[in-house]
């Protein structure tokens, strides 16, 4: 697994004069939790700011001018070399700006701390197309400087992911406002994942033949709609297989009102 991890301000500032231009008690808790026991890759300047290898994890510094090799710290001359050095372990690319830019094509997940204020700075997180990602809001924090832990998941990497669907339309029930719509499958939403319409992401559950309150399975397909901003996810028990035609047949009760098609992600 290769991910990137960053904290940025509303204007995407990540640094100023070689330092992080805010200090918020507790804000780095998620960084510590996610990276402990794993590999952190960072640029030379980011490493210099910290000044030593991070405890309980391995650090790989990318530099062509310095050498920081010690027991839990290695130096690589490029990002691909650093990734190769890390082998099969979970990798978190943690800045700065150039490494983030290079990493963006490689990672399926971006763990972002969104600092809810504009900050003056000289180093920025690169621009990216938010439409290529699903945004999950993991936790928000109030305080003098509010911030949120969010995860951007690349849409291309969605298939096969484990998710939990909260069912608000159980199999065997009728739509509360449109009694002509009967639910032949369980249908619900995924808490915390925001869809394009600003609501939580909806999902059809296939392969479960009784009404359920909640279901954890994997995303097996995305239903795109040519005539709607929303897309729907299709979730099924791990390892199950449904052809595109079978998926369309099972979701026809609702998708018949839209120009929709199945995508398996690629």
**Residues binding ligand NAP (CB under 6 A):** 6-8, 14-15, 18-20, 42-46, 49, 62-66, 78-79, 94-99, 102, 123
Here the tokens at position 196 are 């394009």
Separation of alpha carbons 224 and 226, rounded Å: 7
Question: How far, in Å, CA of 80 to CA of 117, rounded?
Answer: 34
User: Look-up: residue for tokens 């399975």?
Assistant: 217
CB of 143 to ligand NAP, least distance (A): 18
Q: What is the DSSP string of 26-73?
A: TTTHHHHHHHTTSEEEEEHHHHHHH-SPPTTSEEEEE-SS----BTTE
Name the minimum Å distance from CB 125 to ligand NAP. 8
Pairing of strands 147-154, 58-62: unpaired
CB of 150 to ligand NAP, least distance (A): 13
Nearer to ligand NAP among residue 111 and residue 233 (C-beta): 111
Structure tokens at 121: 């700075």
In the complex, minimum distance from the CB of residue 89 to ligand NAP, in angstroms, rounded to a whole number: 20
**82 or 185, CB closer to ligand NAP?**
82
């Amino acid at each position: 697994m290769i991910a990137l991890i960053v904290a940025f301000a509303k204007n995407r500032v990540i640094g100023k004069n070689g330092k992080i231009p805010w200090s918020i008690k507790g804000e780095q808790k998620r960084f510590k939790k996610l990276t402990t026991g794993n590999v952190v890759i960072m640029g030379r300047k980011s490493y210099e700011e910290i000044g030593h290898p991070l405890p309980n994890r391995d650090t790989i510094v990318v530099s062509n001018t310095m050498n920081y090799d010690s027991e839990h710290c290695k130096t690589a001359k490029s990002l691909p070399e650093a990734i190769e050095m890390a082998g099969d372990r979970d990798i978190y690319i943690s800045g700065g700006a150039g490494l983030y830019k290079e990493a963006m094509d490689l990672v399926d997940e971006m763990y972002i701390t969104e600092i809810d204020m504009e900050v003056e700075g000289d180093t920025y997180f690169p621009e990216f197309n938010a439409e290529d990602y699903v945004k999950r809001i993991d936790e928000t924090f109030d305080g003098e400087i509010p911030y949120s832990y969010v995860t951007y998941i690349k849409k291309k990497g969605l298939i096969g992911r484990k998710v939990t669907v909260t069912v608000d339309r159980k199999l065997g029930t009728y739509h509360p406002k449109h009694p002509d719509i009967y639910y032949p499958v369980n249908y619900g939403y995924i808490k915390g994942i925001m869809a394009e319409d600003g609501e939580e992401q909806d999902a059809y559950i296939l392969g479960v033949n009784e009404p359920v309150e909640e279901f954890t399975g994997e995303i097996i397909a995305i239903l795109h709609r040519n005539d709607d901003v929303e897309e729907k996810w299709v979730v099924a028990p791990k390892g199950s297989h449904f052809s595109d035609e079978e998926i369309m047949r099972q979701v026809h009760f609702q998708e018949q009102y839209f120009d929709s098609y199945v995508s398996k992600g690629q």
